[in-house]
Amino acid sequence: MILFKFPVAFCSTSDETLNKDCIDGATASIVLTFGFYQSSCPEAEPTIFSWVEKAVSDEPRMAASLLRLHFHDCFVNARSFGCDASVLLDDMPNFVGEKTAAPNFNSLRGFEVIDAIKADLEYVCPQTVSCSDILAVAARDSVVLVSIYITGGPGWDVQMGRKDSLSASLTEANNNIPAPNSDVHTLLSKFQNVGLSLQDMVALSGAHTMGKARCFTFNGRISSGSNGPDVNLEFLQSLQQLCSGSDANATLADLDHMTPSTFDNEYYVNLLSGEGLLGSDQALVTGSVDTQQLVESYVDDMGAFFEDFKSAMLKMGSLASSENDGEIRRNCRIVNQFNK
């Protein structure tokens, strides 16, 4: 098995660690470390990669689903906990989980893949590898696997040492995760709320170069898109036809209809052609000169997109609980207190 490792440049206390205090005023004390499980569980990353590789081989769409799980996890309660695997929790006696939040319900996938990884790691290294670290590594591995044939494709060492949350927040999941019909102002506000910049926002949006979305997530694009400037009527009509069936809510469309299973910069090319699937995608071109210029730069230079995406993923992934908060769950769906 081959693990892909790439050097990274980031705000860091040393070559091996990243202190969250470096990130835009965040104050949690946790230090995430490269090679965190090298001694305690050297099998961790190879095991995660093996399961992700199998899942993506069985269903290529799973790569986008696992990446999205990490994203939706990190955006909830990000200032104090962030990437803490709260998204994986089922409803508990003392809280309602995040799986039924509007951005997640009947939408997030890949929970069974994470379950399988966790079960394997619990057998090899009991109560050692956090579910939140599994999510971060699985997201990286998913991107690597679908860009494996692209020269200079994105990959990065994942900093680890996160703890798993003891609770979840349905309210924050509903309020904090960007909606598919968001305008640029709303998108930027949600990203800045978790310490991410406009450039981070545009780069992370590039994750939509793979994966699918249901018709109800882009209905607004179909109904209102024909009223704006630089509209691609042919594209919108194709979406309208796709979603005109009796079971439209279950119908899926590719977020990037040109190269839907490859992590590349075609997503941005589509935006300049008026072929962004979601309203929040196309808004990056129509809603702001600053975001449009970044889109154009990523069209011209795929390597620049890859570098900015890696940096933004590290930055987002650094939103983690403090050393004294959380636990290492034995089952990613249940806090240990209820997992007897």
Which residue ranges make up the annotated binding site for heme b? 208
Catalytic, out of 70, 72, 185, 257: 72
Say if CB 335 and CB 89 are below 8 A apart. yes
Q: For residue 72, indicate whether it is catalytic.
A: yes
Which string of DSSP letters, residue by residue, matches 33-99? Answer: ETTTTTTT-TTHHHHHHHHHHHHHHH-TTHHHHHHHHHHHHHTSSTTTT-SSSGGGPPPBTTB--ST
Annotated binding-site residues read 73, 76, 82, 84, 86, 98, 178, 208-209, 256, 259, 264
Q: List Cβ neighbours of 199 (8 Å cut-off, separation of 6 or more).
A: 294, 308, 312
Encode burial over 24-44: b for 16+ CB neighbours within 10 A, e otherwise.
eebebebbbebebbeeebebb
Annotated binding-site residues for substrate read 178
Annotated binding-site residues for Ca(2+) read 73, 76, 82, 84, 86, 98, 209, 256, 259, 264
Residue 47's alpha-carbon distances to 65, 141, 156, 235, in angstroms, are 19, 11, 17, 42
Pairing type for strands 17-19 and 31-33 reads antiparallel
Q: Which residues are catalytic?
A: 72
